[in-house]
Structure 1
């Protein structure tokens, strides 16, 4: 099991907690702050997915006029996990 706490930048969420299985599949993701319903939905949808698939789907998503979003920051965090 791999775990990481990631501090996103440029988003309403203040912390992303990520847990991956040994074969790099998402076992749990939780956000502190942000839009609770949307972020719980994203967490549920990506559960069991391989981290590379999550990165390819979420990387580059923007929130309103911001240059990033909570999903984009999640992709950034996953890129850092080895």
Structure 2
């Protein structure tokens, strides 16, 4: 399943992900801090969706109520529904 998600409250403008049999196969952030989003993408790939959501959900960026990793968790949760 391919996911395209427009994040809210962060620097990245779009998140593209692919999930197959409950495993995150790929993640691409458009915009945001390149090094951080590449790192989050590589760490998420190959992991079960539930694990990624548990690890990344609720992470905040500075004073913001969310972050790019948190937005990825929200995108994956939304796709599960």
Query: Shared topology, TM-score over 0.5?
Result: yes
Q: Which runs of 4+ in 1 moved over 3 A?
A: none
Provide structure 2 residue ranges, at least 5 long, that are not aligned to the other structure. none
TM-score (norm 2): 0.96
**Residues 29-76 of structure 1: CA deviation (Å, up to 9, x unaligned):** 000000001110111111110000000000000000000000000000
**Residues 9-33 of structure 1: CA deviation (Å, up to 9, x unaligned):** 0000000001011x11011000000
| Aligned-residue CA RMSD (Å) | 0.6
**Aligned pairs, number:** 80
TM-score (norm 1): 0.95
Residue number among 8, 17, 36 corresponding to 2:34 in the alignment: 36
